[in-house]
Amino acid sequence: MMRGTLWTSGLLVLALLPHVGAQGTKYSIKTEESPVPKDIGEPIQKVLGPQSVQLLDPAGKTVCEVWFRKEVPADATAEQIKNGLTYREVKQSEVVGVIRFDQEWRDYRKQKVKAGTYTLRLGYQPMDGDHTGSSDFQDFLVILDAAKDTKTELMDPKHMVETSAKSIGTGHPAVFMLFPNSKPGAAPALAAMPKNHWVLQTKEDVTVAGKKTGTSLGFGLTLVGAAD
């Protein structure tokens, strides 16, 4: 399993910041059956579930809409499945879902993320000393322009990072920080975390070697928030 990757320098936490936001500002989500975006590659369309989760800003306007994969492949042993899966049992660069921004947004570095559709791939923060203390957790979802990422196959981590950076027109990739979510509920939920982090909590069924495992992996996807 690939663990390392070459991320460009700088703090690499996803935390999408609203144009105007303050501590205590309340967001909400809405879950519904929604057609998958047609501007993504057909192979990726086929692996997405029919249900989407919309993030609504305090004014009730849609910020983004997320479609998660119906089943996420993992590289896990029977013992790991029994003890509870973590993000590290999923191979780096695996497609986890798709996100569509309905309005321009900004990432942790205040880089502009244009409205549009992006794939979500799993990425790990490198343990190279340059990122020490830059985030509370070291697992992320990396966004890539859907036009630049049309297949479900694993991607070289360095290429994934470079494609993400090109997708937002900067020298840095755009990422969502993942909170641990070991006890996901039956339905998606939005949790208010410390430091004004708003985290979408959901789960995906897991397969190993193409076979259903009867278990799921919880995701805690940071949609709003920033590191200190």
Within a domain: residue 13?
no
Q: Which pLDDT belongs to residue 175?
A: 85
Q: Which pLDDT belongs to residue 24?
A: 54
Predicted TM-score (pTM) of this structure = 0.85
Within a domain: residue 103?
yes
Query: Bigger pLDDT: 131 or 201?
Result: 201
Q: Which pLDDT belongs to residue 21?
A: 37
| Count of the separate structural domains present in the chain | 1
Residues 63-82, mean pLDDT to the nearest whole number: 96
Within a domain: residue 171?
yes
Within a domain: residue 165?
yes
Residues 77-81, mean pLDDT to the nearest whole number: 95
Looking at the predicted structure, is the pLDDT value of residue 131 above 70?
no
Nearest CA-CA partner of 16 in 105, 121, 140: 105
> Can you give the residue range of the structural domain that contains 82?
28-222
Within a domain: residue 126?
yes
Within a domain: residue 6?
no
The b-or-e profile of 36-69 (16+ CB within 10 A means b, else e) is bbeebbeebbebbbebbbbbbbeeeeebbbbbbb
Within a domain: residue 59?
yes
Condensed to tens digits (0 to 9), the pLDDT of residues 85-111 reads 999 999 999 999 999 999 998 776 677
Q: What is the average pLDDT value for the chain, to the nearest integer?
A: 86
Q: Which pLDDT belongs to residue 130?
A: 52
Query: Bigger pLDDT: 73 or 16?
Result: 73
Query: Bigger pLDDT: 108 or 24?
Result: 108
Looking at the predicted structure, is the pLDDT value of residue 14 above 90?
no
Looking at the predicted structure, is the pLDDT value of residue 1 above 60?
no
Condensed to tens digits (0 to 9), the pLDDT of residues 151-206 reads 999 999 999 999 999 999 999 898 889 999 989 999 999 999 888 889 999 999 99
Condensed to tens digits (0 to 9), the pLDDT of residues 214-223 reads 999 999 999 9
Within a domain: residue 227?
no
